[in-house]
């Protein structure tokens, strides 16, 4: 009897890592990789940096070429959306699809009954009502979206309003200023990236952006002002001319008083909506799955028997931190893709050890909890932030400015009396590795504080507190 395939839904970093790990782990049966976009797997972090800037072209973002994918013997289905999953039978419902070499070319709408499924569908950009019908209003999550925005930034002197002052908004603001555009960065919080890094680090970032000419504004977007489309006889979508804020901006911001509503009006040739993302779980309607803030998984990345998740979409029980977590970070996507693949193979080998294609001469026998040390980075101008552990939702933050002029800083993040995260800028790699070791396992706050101080002092830098 023909072995059922393992299907990986999502063909970005987490999905590709899972597919490769399945082959390395001994899966010799059919392996289907499903991607909603028509592109071969590519890297997303450069979209808001090198690609948007024009320093890289799309081919450089590819995680693997067609030739590199060929040994995996994938049934590669790009431009294909998974629209449903029956958990009990592990049956996927698929819509559309075009095979791309080295796949066995095919186009189908139908069902795929699987031996196991790894869900790596990531997240989708949030937007605002009606924004998709206004020319000049963009989101930035996919390659096509990044290329569309890059094309609009190809000239100089554009007025770009970025709605959302989180990581994506700040990175895009830095790129746009380097390209010579007029940039206004709007957030509902006064401090950029405060939710991710805290207000003290966020305040230093605000200084950097202001010094580079970015205008910072606080407010809630109330809507857009538009002008008629520029096509023949006014055909096409209306084009954006301004962003309206419901509650105005900070004193000295770019907003000007708007008539009638008492809010602010931000003139704009282009708008980037960088207001966060939602886990791509709307297609998972089986009641056996919990899709609250991502796909809920156990410590092994399992959402149900034979159903695993990895990457931005997965919310799993982190065994070290003792609570469910979900990370939208590139390193986590790769590591969790590999972990999910390994644990799925261990489950299949345990439940059906004689199944053809389920393993090799030394099959994986035991599942392992997934317990990474989270890592993320952000590049803005010549500033590189790097963080290990948990920096969001901290109840205690201590920030040390090692050199303000050189933008060298260190921040320690705590929760419940223990140090759970650390962030640095301008430190050498050796010191960064030492910082990671300190928070790999949460330590009591004072102990971690002493070890952080020793790690930085060892490099010749004595923190000033």
Any idea what the CATH number is for the domain that residue 166 is in? Answer: 3.50.50.60
CA atoms of 419 and 270, how far apart (whole Å): 41
98 pLDDT exceeds 80?
no
Judge contact between 103 and 75, C-beta under 8 A: yes
Residue 105 has pLDDT above 60, yes or no: no
Q: What pairing do the DSSP bridges indicate for beta strands 159-163 and 270-273?
A: parallel
Whole-number Å distance between alpha carbons of 224 and 440: 45
pLDDT of 463 over the 70 cut? no
Looking at the structure, tell me whether residues 346 and 318 fall in a common domain: yes
How far is 125 from 177, CA to CA, in rounded Å?
Answer: 23
**Do 258 and 289 belong together in one domain?**
no
Is 463 inside a domain boundary? no
Residue 450: strand, helix, or coil: helix
**Domain co-membership, 268 together with 147:** yes
Task: Specify whether 306 is located in the same domain as 238.
Answer: no
Give a yes or no: residue 169 inside a domain.
yes
pLDDT, averaged across the chain:
89
H-helix or E-strand spanning residue 457: helix 445-457
Ranges assigned E (strand) in 396-438: 396-403, 408-415, 418-425
pLDDT of 110 higher than 50: yes
* Residue 344 scores a pLDDT above 50: yes
Cβ contacts of 373-378, under 8 Å, gap ≥ 24: 373/436, 373/439, 373/440, 374/325, 374/327, 374/329, 374/331, 374/332, 374/421, 375/329, 375/331, 375/332, 375/436, 376/327, 376/329, 376/330, 376/331, 378/167, 378/170, 378/171, 378/193
Helix, coil or strand: residue 45: helix
Give CA–CA dist 44/332, Å, rounded: 13
CATH number assigned to the domain comprising residue 421: 3.30.390.30
Is residue 377 included in any domain, yes or no?
A: no
What's the total number of domains in the chain?
3
pLDDT at 430: 85
Is 374 among the domain residues? no
| pLDDT of residue 134 exceeding 70 | yes
Q: State whether 183 and 269 are in the same domain.
A: yes
Percent of the chain residues past pLDDT 70, beyond the cut: 88
- Give pLDDT, residue 263: 64
Domain presence at residue 312: yes
- The answer to whether residues 24 and 119 belong to one domain is yes
φ/ψ of residue 326, rounded to 5: -135, 130
Beta bridge mates, 124:
278
| End position of a domain, from candidates 253, 273, 293 | 273
Write down the pLDDT at residue 406: 81
pLDDT, one tens digit per residue, over 179-224 is 999 999 999 999 999 999 999 999 999 999 999 999 999 999 999 9
Phi, psi of 175 (to 5 degrees): -65, -45
Q: In what order do the strands lie in the sheet with 159-163?
A: 137-138, 270-273, 159-163, 182-187, 215-218
Range name among 34-48, 53-67, 432-446 with the lowest pLDDT average: 432-446
Asked whether the beta carbons of 251 and 147 are under 8 A apart, the reply is no
Residue 63 shares a structural domain with residue 199: no
Strand partners, 6: 31, 116
pTM of the full structure? 0.90
Whether 439 and 400 share a structural domain: yes
Burial 201-222 (b: 16+ CB within 10 A, else e): bbebbbebbeeeebbbbbbebb
* 238 shares a domain with 114: no
Convert the pLDDT of each residue in 40-57 to its tens digit.
999 999 999 999 999 999
Domain that holds residue 442: 382-457
> Is there a domain that residue 43 lies in?
yes
């Amino acid at each position: 009897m023909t072995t059922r395939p393992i299907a990986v839904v999502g063909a970005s970093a987490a999905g590709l890592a899972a597919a490769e790990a399945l082959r390395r782990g001994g899966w010799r049966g059919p392996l289907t990789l499903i991607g909603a976009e028509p592109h071969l797997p590519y890297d997303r972090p450069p979209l808001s940096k090198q690609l948007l800037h024009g320093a890289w072209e799309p081919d450089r973002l590819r995680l693997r070429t067609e030739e590199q994918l060929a040994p995996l013997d994938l049934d590669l289905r790009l431009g294909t959306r998974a629209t449903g999953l029956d958990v009990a039978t592990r049956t996927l419902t698929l819509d559309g699809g075009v095979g791309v070499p080295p796949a066995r070319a095919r186009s189908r709408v139908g069902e795929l009954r699987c031996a196991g499924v790894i869900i790596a569908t990531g997240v989708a950009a949030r937007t605002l009502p009606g924004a998709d019908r206004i020319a000049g209003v963009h989101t930035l999550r996919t390659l096509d979206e990044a290329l569309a925005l890059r094309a609009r930034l190809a000239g100089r002197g554009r007025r770009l309003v970025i709605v959302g002052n989180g990581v994506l908004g700040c990175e895009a603001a830095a790129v746009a200023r380097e390209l010579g555009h007029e940039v206004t960065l709007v957030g509902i919080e006064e401090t950029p990236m405060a939710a991710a890094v805290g207000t003290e680090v966020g305040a230093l970032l605000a200084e950097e952006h202001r010094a580079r000419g970015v205008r910072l504004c606080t407010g809630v977007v109330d809507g857009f002002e538009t002008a008629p489309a520029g096509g023949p006889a006014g055909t096409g979508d209306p084009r954006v001319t301004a962003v309206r804020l419901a509650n105005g901006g900070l004193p000295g911001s770019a907003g000007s008083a708007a008539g009638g509503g008492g809010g602010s009006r931000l003139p704009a040739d282009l708008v980037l909506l960088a207001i966060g993302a939602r886990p791509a779980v709307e297609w998972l309607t089986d009641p056996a799955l919990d899709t609250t803030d991502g796909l809920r998984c156990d410590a092994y990345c399992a959402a149900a028997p034979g159903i695993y998740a990895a990457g931005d979409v997965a919310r799993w029980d982190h065994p070290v931190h003792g609570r469910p977590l979900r990370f939208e970070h590139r390193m986590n996507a790769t590591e969790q893709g590999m972990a999910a693949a390994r644990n799925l193979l261990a489950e299949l080998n345990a439940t059906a050890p004689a199944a053809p294609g389920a393993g090799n001469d030394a099959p994986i026998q035991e599942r392992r909890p997934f317990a990474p040390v989270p890592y993320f980075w952000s590049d803005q101008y010549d500033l590189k932030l790097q963080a290990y552990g948990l920096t969001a939702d901290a109840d205690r933050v201590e920030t040390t400015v090692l050199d303000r002029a050189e933008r060298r800083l260190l921040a320690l993040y705590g929760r419940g009396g223990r140090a759970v995260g650390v962030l640095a800028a301008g430190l050498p790699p050796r010191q960064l590795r030492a910082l990671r070791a300190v928070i790999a396992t949460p330590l009591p706050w004072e102990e971690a504080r002493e070890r952080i101080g020793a790690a930085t002092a060892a490099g010749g830098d004595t923190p000033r507190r």
